[in-house]
Structure 1
Amino acid sequence: MLQLRTVFLLFSIALLSLTGCDNGNNSASRTLELEDPDFRQGILYSKQNEYRLALECFLKVIDSRKGAAESHLEAGRMLLELEDPLPAIYHFNQYIRLKPDSEQAKIVKKMINTAEKIYAKQLPGRPLDPDEVGVSDQAALIRKLQAENAKLLREVSELSRINKVGDPLLAATAKNQTEKTKTVVESSASKETKTYTIQSGDSLYSISKKFYGNGQRANDIYNANRDKLKSPTALAVGVTIVIPQ
């Protein structure tokens, strides 16, 4: 954990040194975001190592402001501190989507690589350690992580289209398609047990968002379906999984 925090410190210093590299419009927007009371409170909490409280503040800014790139960046950092790398990757990718040409984006991509390594170490029985994992296994794991990132980017793109102002028809269509993918059945163990049939392009993070409104329950879904899923990234289309309460 100490090594991880050292990486975060170096990233933070580099980001501060690049603050003046954005154009005028981005700089003005960034200034307004940094002055948001919730953002400032989040920074204060993060300095006090209250990472979950800080995360809640940054998510409030994201919900209230369109294009809150800096809040996505900070939310990603807090999630890494909380050892929750999958949603951290989502927020880092959001930052890059919003500010793809910024100098900071280069550093954020390195943070994504760090998050991928942390996630790989969390996979059951699959530590990313050259002494324990063969080269072919590492390559396969990297391909899985790249596929997961691609899914996250598609989700970001879809959310961006749905949230466009003046496009209610597209939003309604997307909502109907999402509802059609949900399968809720009665279980012999409990009448309220929910199940879901995996569709093409699904990830545990996206399934968690469908049922809980956020991606925080991705690990819970995996743990409830270890008998059906080989790993958190190996989702087979057509397999029915249990959605935990």
Structure 2
Amino acid sequence: MVRAVFVFMVLLLAGCEDGSRADSRTLDVEDEDFRQGQNFYKSGEVRKALECYLKVIDKRKGAAESNLEAGRMYLELQDPLPAIYHFNQYIRMKPTSEQSNLVRQLIKTAEKQFMQQLPGRPMEPDALGGSDLNAKLRNLQLENEKLKRELADYNRTQKGLVLPPKTTSEKPAEKPATTDDGKPQRFRQYTVAKGDTLSGISRKIYGDASPTRISAIYNANRDKMTSVNSLPKIGTVILLPE
């Protein structure tokens, strides 16, 4: 049903454009990326068309027609939140254009599409008022930005902690580990506790967390660990070189 409404709106918009192209269209329609976007859309490549319209928006201020086309592409891709944003940008730039009322109808279509995508039982199209829906959209956008920041912080934390993957040329040691003077390596046992990390264990036992210490602990427990970040579960006994 939503797609049928969308197609209907697209046809109406196309009719309006034919009669008022010179008056209502801004210079962004002359942009090469805009024209490329139209060609992609005609050939059924909606995502590539969207990328072209977004390029125009990035390059030009007041790219009203590109915002309208980007909103239409997002709506066809079943992505109503950015569609609503770009439709509103068009309304902001051209509030009295001949197409503005049709764009407002597209916004309502996108709002209905969004409500149908909510988890659980699909909501009736008029279950939320306009202000309630806008508040819901803002909250979702804020939550999305928060998750992006948390993910970026996590990725920065993990950088430098991951060792290069083991190569296929590595082979298990066939002889017991020995010290520099040829004597067998001696170990002490340590039981993994909650919150432990290799660096934390190294500081606790040896008083420092140098890469050499951490590498020695890891090498002594390769049968229990796949990397320096994969400490065995709590209660597991590992070996610490003396």
TM range, normalised to the smaller chain? 0.5 to 0.7
Task: Write the distance in 1 (CA, Å) between the matches of 2:116 and 2:124.
Answer: 8
Per the alignment, residue 10 of structure 2 pairs with 12
- Kindly indicate whether the alpha-carbon contact (under 8 Å) linking 2:2 and 2:113 is maintained by their aligned counterparts in 1: no
The Cα of 1:146 is off from its aligned counterpart by 3.5
The Cα of 1:82 is off from its aligned counterpart by 1.4
Q: After superposition, where does 1:180-191 map in structure 2 within 5 Å?
A: none
- Kindly indicate whether the alpha-carbon contact (under 8 Å) linking 1:22 and 1:102 is maintained by their aligned counterparts in 2: no
RMSD of equivalent CA atoms: 2.9
The Cα of 1:34 is off from its aligned counterpart by 1.7
Q: Choose from 116, 132, 137 the match for 1:144.
A: 132
Q: Which runs of 5+ in 2 are unaligned?
A: 156-242
User: Do residues 57 (structure 1) and 55 (structure 2) align?
Assistant: no
Per the alignment, residue 31 of structure 2 pairs with 36
| 3-state DSSP of counterpart to 1:38 | helix
Aligned length: 152
For the structure 1 residues 206 and 105, does the alpha-carbon distance in structure 2 shift closer, same or farther, using more than 3 Å as the test?
farther
The Cα of 1:243 is off from its aligned counterpart by 4.4
- Kindly indicate whether the alpha-carbon contact (under 8 Å) linking 2:115 and 2:122 is maintained by their aligned counterparts in 1: yes
The Cα of 1:17 is off from its aligned counterpart by 2.5
Q: After superposition, where does 1:1-245 map in structure 2 within 5 Å?
A: 3-19=1-17, 20-21=19-20, 24=23, 26-27=24-25, 30=26, 32-129=27-124, 138-139=127-128, 143-148=131-136, 151=138, 203-206=139-142, 208=144, 221=147, 242-243=150-151
- Kindly indicate whether the alpha-carbon contact (under 8 Å) linking 1:120 and 1:126 is maintained by their aligned counterparts in 2: no
Task: Write the distance in 1 (CA, Å) between the matches of 2:134 and 2:141.
Answer: 15
Q: Between Structure 1 and Structure 2, whose CA radius of gyration is higher?
A: 2
Task: Write the distance in 1 (CA, Å) between the matches of 2:51 and 2:70.
Answer: 8
Q: Deviations over 1:155-181 (max 9, x none)?
A: xxxxxxxxxxxxxxxxxxxxxxxxxxx
Letter of the 1:204 counterpart:
L
| 3-state DSSP of counterpart to 1:103 | coil
